[in-house]
């Protein structure tokens, strides 16, 4: 599976990402960096510890990275999560994080199994 | 005559630091600039470094740093006499107008966009060229003034830069890329394999005859046009001299 097929599998608009980042190699490099970071694990820990001030910043940073990568369905969930954290809405933040994590895991699984190991 | 461009990236996101750093590397890949990139995960060390040495030519500064706004950090820099270029990075255009107050040179919106990044870099580097070709070798760097380049010859994957002191520098690149980089009227692409410095041409027949009697080939099909360009360049040079006198 190449980068284009990876994005097609996610039902994301590969052409608009390529339009912004110009080369598939660059997109691949950025995806590698993103999936090798532990920002999602850190965010989970911060939400569990109810450390919303820090979690808010982590969510903001994650949102930036995900939007650069053009994974819009994750951007949409993390934007809502960021708002919940800003408003100190613990229960909603937990629910939204769970949705975010499930979607992230699904994408991560596609990336590692279908792209990296092919 | 070393001219190293010092660049700082200050962003609390390691991903964004990576992105900007990668774009900088890509931007300079085919350019004769020496540059050095330093990354900062927060503003504190950067503020210290600027107070100490004021060495940066360009700072890429995130607007939403963890505990402070990048705009406020930039104000501190300017108050301390920092006169380098500042380019803000942000997902929001909320501070774009305010960025003028700190004489920002650019405001790059996230998600990152390589073409927009390059256009900001082009603008920042306008006028910075010193008519000097920088050749990066494995363990050294050579600086060759345009004035001392007699002609450049390409052969397979390499190019030989023939200089007026008789030295020949070999680099592994395409002549097209060198031509694009030199972008100076004195250099004329007269053949698929030759780029000639017209200031070293003694006369022109079927080929250029150089000041040291070496021959530089001219593409047969284009000889009329090349002659025209050579004559135009010479008449302009003579006119310039007359005006100066």
**Which pair of tokens denotes residue B211?**
């000041």
Say whether A22 and B91 touch across the interface (CB within 8 A).
no
- Identify from A12, A65, A74, A75 which residue to disrupt to test chain B contact, counting B C-beta atoms within 10 A and taking the largest count: A65
- Identify from B16, B41, B112 which residue to disrupt to test chain A contact, counting A C-beta atoms within 10 A and taking the largest count: B112
Cis preceding-peptide flag for A61 (omega within 30 of 0)? no
Give the end of a domain, one of B56, B90, B125.
Answer: B125
Q: What is the mean pLDDT of residues A31-40?
A: 94
* Closest C-alpha among B162, B145, B141, B166 to residue B153: B162
Specify if B105 maps to a domain.
yes
Q: Mind listing the pLDDT tens digit for each residue in A62-93?
A: 999 999 999 999 999 999 999 999 999 999 99
Segments forming the whole domain that contains residue B229: 146-244
Q: What pairing do the DSSP bridges indicate for beta strands B215-216 and B168-171?
A: unpaired
pLDDT-based confidence at B1, cuts 50/70/90? very low
Q: Is the backbone of residue A22 left (phi > 0), alpha (psi -120 to 50) or beta?
A: left
Q: In this complex, which of A22, A37, A67 lies closest to B110 when CB atoms are compared? A: A67
Question: Are residues B112 and B151 both part of a single domain?
Answer: no
| DSSP state for residue B189 in the 8-state scheme | E
Q: Mind listing the pLDDT tens digit for each residue in B234-243?
A: 876 655 555 4
Output the CATH code of domain A3-16+25-116: 1.20.120
Question: Are residues B90 and B159 both part of a single domain?
Answer: no
Cα A34 to chain centroid distance, Å, stands at 8
Q: Mind listing the pLDDT tens digit for each residue in B28-51?
A: 887 767 899 999 999 999 999 999
Percent of chain A as helix, strand, coil, to the nearest 5? 85, 0, 15
CATH code of B100's domain: 3.40.50.2300
Cβ contacts of B120 within 8 Å, gap of 6 or more: B87, B105, B106, B108
Chain A residues with beta carbon closer than 8 angstroms to that of B26: 26
Question: Are residues B54 and B113 both part of a single domain?
Answer: yes
Q: Could you tell me the residue ranges of all domains in chain A?
A: 3-16+25-116
Question: Are residues B23 and B63 both part of a single domain?
Answer: yes
CA separation for the pair B198, B187 (Å, rounded)? 6
Judged by CB atoms within 8 Å, which residues 69-88 of A form the interface with B? Answer: 70
Total domain count, chain B? 2
Give the end of a domain, one of B125, B158, B183.
Answer: B125
Q: What is the mean pLDDT of residues B129-158?
A: 83
CA separation for the pair B43, B76 (Å, rounded)? 11
Specify if B134 maps to a domain.
no
Specify if B217 maps to a domain.
yes
């Amino acid at each position: 599976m190449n980068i284009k097929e990876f994005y097609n599998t996610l039902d994301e608009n590969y052409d608009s990402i390529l339009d912004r980042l110009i080369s598939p190699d660059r997109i691949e490099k950025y995806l590698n960096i993103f999936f090798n970071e532990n920002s999602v694990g850190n965010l989970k820990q911060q939400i569990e510890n109810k450390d919303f001030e820090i979690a808010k910043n982590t969510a903001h940073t994650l949102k930036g990275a995900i939007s650069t990568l053009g994974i819009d369905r994750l951007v949409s969930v993390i934007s809502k999560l960021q708002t919940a954290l800003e408003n100190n809405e613990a229960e909603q933040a937990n629910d939204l994080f769970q949705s975010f994590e499930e979607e992230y895991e699904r994408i991560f699984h596609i990336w590692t199994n279908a792209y990296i190991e092919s | 005559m070393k001219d190293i461009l010092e660049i700082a990236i200050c962003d609390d996101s390691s991903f964004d630091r990576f992105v900007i750093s990668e774009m900088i590397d890509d931007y300079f890949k085919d350019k004769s600039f020496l540059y050095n990139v330093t990354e900062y995960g927060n503003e504190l060390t950067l503020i210290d470094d600027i107070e100490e040495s004021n060495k940066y030519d360009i700072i890429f500064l995130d607007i939403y740093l963890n505990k402070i706004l990048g705009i406020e950090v930039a104000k501190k820099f300017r108050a301390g006499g920092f006169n380098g270029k500042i380019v803000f990075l942000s997902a929001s255009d909320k501070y774009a107008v305010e960025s003028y107050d700190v004489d920002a040179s650019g405001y790059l919106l996230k998600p990152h966009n390589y073409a927009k990044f390059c256009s900001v870099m082009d603008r920042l580097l306008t006028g910075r060229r010193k008519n000097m070709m920088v050749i990066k070798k494995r363990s050294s760097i050579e600086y060759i003034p345009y004035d001392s380049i007699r002609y450049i010859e390409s052969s397979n994957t390499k190019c030989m830069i023939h200089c007026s002191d008789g030295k020949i520098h070999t680099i592994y690149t395409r002549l097209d890329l060198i031509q694009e980089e030199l972008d100076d009227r004195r250099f004329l692409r007269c053949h698929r394999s030759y780029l000639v410095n017209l200031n070293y041409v003694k006369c022109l027949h079927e080929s250029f005859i150089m000041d040291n009697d070496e021959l530089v080939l001219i593409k047969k099909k284009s000889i009329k046009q090349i002659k025209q360009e050579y004559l135009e360049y010479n008449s302009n040079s003579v006119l310039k001299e007359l005006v100066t006198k």
